[in-house]
Chains A and B, each alone.
Chain A
Amino acid sequence: MNVTIVDYNSGNISSVINSFKEAAKDKVNIEVTSNLNKIKSSDKVVLPGQGSFKSCVDALNGINGLVETLNEFAITNKKPLLGICVGLQMLADLGYEETQTKGLGWISGKVSKINNQNNKFKLPHIGWNEINIIKDSKIFKDIENKSHMYFVHSYEFIPEDKNVISATTEYSSNIVCSVEKENIFGTQFHPEKSDKLGIKIIENFLNL
């Protein structure tokens, strides 16, 4: 099996690469590339993302044909794709970080700044928080409800269809932290930095 981590200048992806290699052992071939043909021919795709919504969308659009290739992969061919952090956020229609920016529009919704209740809560939301699993998502196999995952973000994904939400986390409000819509998965938290349980989530994705 070939799994591609999309390298589109979205910031630091070393940790994503290391954790996927750890989870893959030698059974899965992990490729890190923005080569369109390699993405097309792979079995699964990981879309990481760090920095702002706008900078990630700009970087994605900066590679000719990448968005079309990803569309074909995830929407036309319905092959498994996992978005992490801003990689999840970009699945939405619109983001409001820096300026209003169009996302991939694969899961209807928007990405807005977390309401921190007049500075009662610090932003970014950084650290380990419990996830409330509300849907039996395939990537949560053998993951207990209330497990801790590592977060670092100031914006949250608000999907229109609440049925896509697979987990939430409690901060200044109830924040969507994982979604699943058919073959498309996304986590707001960083499985690659969430120790053994995070690696387990990555394994679950690789084993889909």
Chain B
Amino acid sequence: MLKNRIIPCLDVKNGRVVKGINFVDLKDAGDPVEQAKIYSDGGADEICFLDITASNENRDTIYDVVERTSKKCFVPLTVGGGVRGVEDINKLLNCGADKVSINTAAVQKPEMIIESSKKFGSQCIVVAIDAKKNGNKWEVFTHGGRNNTNVDAIEFAKKMEDNGAGELLVTSMDRDGTQIGYDNELMLKISSTVNIPIIASGGVGNLDHLVDGIRLGNASAVLAASIFHYGTHSINEAKQYLNLKGIPVRI
């Protein structure tokens, strides 16, 4: 039986781990390679790095982090943030990333997803959708949540599936950093519209939220940052809890 995945996410800036609340107020909290190794030793099903380095000069730091991590961690490694073109994907994969997540560029140049999934295979193309509720619909945001594109998130998800994305990483901008749980209505809408796996993200504050993301949001995988990052819960605790609740996990 296929297991639901638990994915710790590390926000990386200039080669160091940070975690923001609603994408601001960043705190420096360590070396991403060591942190990733702790997670994979603790049973993480996958590791996610989100590169939030703002300036172009420091972009090479993420390649170094990915390269060092991939020599120590032998679980899938997903890297996102600032991926603008096919050449960025190529570089990240060559450094040892297994999947690349694409956000702003997927909205601006949807054909890039067609091109890159053909070139590298759908299995390594993840489209990250940052969505915010507006009335009874959700709109796609880009640039780390700063720009509203007015694009309908559900329609966009379908389009990305058609363009060849292998997975969707869906973040609720309303919930990110709030610790009140995923927007499971959004997750369920998208997961019942597309037939590729979705990873729920944004808003986890306790272990029941992970359960809800899978049960209510029908997510294949659940991503969280701060509950793991600040040591509130270990990956193993999370997995034991999900197991107790009857959710299939790899233990």
Contacts and interface: CB of A to CB of B under 8 A. Distances in A.
B121 A50 contact: yes
A11 B45 CA distance: 22
Interface stretch (A35-43, A87-95, A137-145, A192-200): A192-200
A11 B74 contact: no
Interface in B27-73: 40, 45, 70-71
Interface residues of B, number: 34
Nearest to A199: B74
Given A15-B70, A124-B196, A193 B96 contact: no
A52 interface: yes
A interface majority secondary structure: mixed
A12 B40 contact: no
Contacts of A51: 119-121, 123
B71 A148 contact: no
Contact of A125 (B2, B75, B76, B93): B2
A125 B122 CA distance: 12
A44 B250 CA distance: 32
Contact of A128 (B45, B71, B122): B45
Interface residues of A, number: 38
A79 B1 CA distance: 34
A134 B101 CA distance: 37
A7 to B, nearest CB: 12
A173 to B, nearest CB: 12
Central interface residue in A18, A129, A151, A199, by most chain B CB within 10 Å: A18
Given A14-B96, A50-B121, A122 B74 contact: no
Interface in A102-150: 116, 119, 122-130, 148, 150
B166 interface: yes
A193 B195 contact: no
A72 interface: no
Contact of B75 (A22, A116, A171, A195): A195
Contacts of B167: 124, 126
A128 B5 contact: yes
Contact of B221 (A124, A127, A196): A127
Contacts of B195: 116, 119, 122-123
Contacts of A178: none
Contacts of A55: 118, 121
B45 A124 contact: no
A14 B40 contact: no
A170 interface: yes
A40 B96 CA distance: 27
A59 B208 CA distance: 47
B172 to A, nearest CB: 20
Interface in B111-141: 118-124
B141 to A, nearest CB: 25
Interface in B77-104: 77, 93-98
Interface of B: 1-5, 40, 45, 70-71, 74-77, 93-98, 118-124, 166-167, 195-197, 220-221, 250
12 contacts: A12-B120, A14-B95, A15-B96, A22-B71, A50-B120, A124-B196, A127-B197, A128-B2, A130-B1, A152-B123, A192-B74, A193-B74
